[in-house]
Amino acid sequence: MELPEFETLRLERDGEHVLVVTLDRPAALNALNTQMGLEQHALWTRLTAEPGALRAVVLTGAGERAFSAGGDLKERDGMSDEAWRTQHEAFERCFVALIECPLPVIAAVNGHAYGGGLELALCCDFAYAAPEARFALSEVRLGIMPGGMGTQNLARAVGERRAKEMVLSARAIDARQALAWGLVNRVCEAGRVLPDALDAARAIAANAPLAVRQAKKSVHYGLDMDLLTGYRFEIEAYNRLVGTEDRREGVRAFNEKRTPRFRGR
């Protein structure tokens, strides 16, 4: 896939199979404005339809201060109700496109993730955090509430009671507490959050891409089902892999004691 060019996103390949996406508005703490919402929707939609050789994505923020400060309140200042709702619909499409992207997406939270910034991280499959990162859904301080799947994804990540504490108090937690609560998978050493996330992305990209995508789908959607229905969904996903070239290559490579050469078919 030829990488598109955006105003608010910076795209860089890491090898053939990994894409690094950087929220690139450092002067605004990578706040989510209308342009960024539209560009993210375009990116995640394209990666869904035409992933090409890509097998994993790392999402991070420019600079060291913030992953993303959330919605751009300077842009929103003075917006009419109608304009606000129209803008938010663009954000809604962005979040849905990200969470439904079949490629695994890892958040490398390099700094503070507030409001919509935390919601972006929560839409990723998992997250690593810099030690100085802080996390908050502080929308109720502005007379609104989380509207980027925050109440849904946060509760699924940390549990109902902890999610209510964060959302209703609007208070931030630090990276260590985020790790203890299950909001992030790892707190990295200083300066290591992007390299560590890339290491994880490369490990994912080394596996059979169709199998990875089916497994991601099974975990994600199975959690919304009862156990036996989720298991039936899992078996349907499993059976789609039996006839693939990658399945045959994986077994053949194992028996020949060599590294498999997966082709995504």
Catalytic one of 119, 234, 245, 249: 119
Sign of CA pseudo-dihedral 27, 32, 34, 40: positive
Give the residues across from 125 on adjacent strands.
none
Q: Are 139 and 127 in contact (CB under 8 A)?
A: no
Our answer to whether residue 16 is catalytic in this structure is no
Give Cβ neighbours of residue 118 (< 8 Å, ≥ 6 apart).
Answer: 70, 135, 136, 137, 150, 154
Catalytic one of 64, 89, 139, 234: 139
Our answer to whether residue 119 is catalytic in this structure is yes
How many other CB atoms sit within 10 Å of the CB of residue 79? 13
Report phi then psi at 136, rounded to 5: -160, 145
Residue 2 corresponds to which tokens in the numbers above? 């030829």
Active site (catalytic) residues: 119, 139
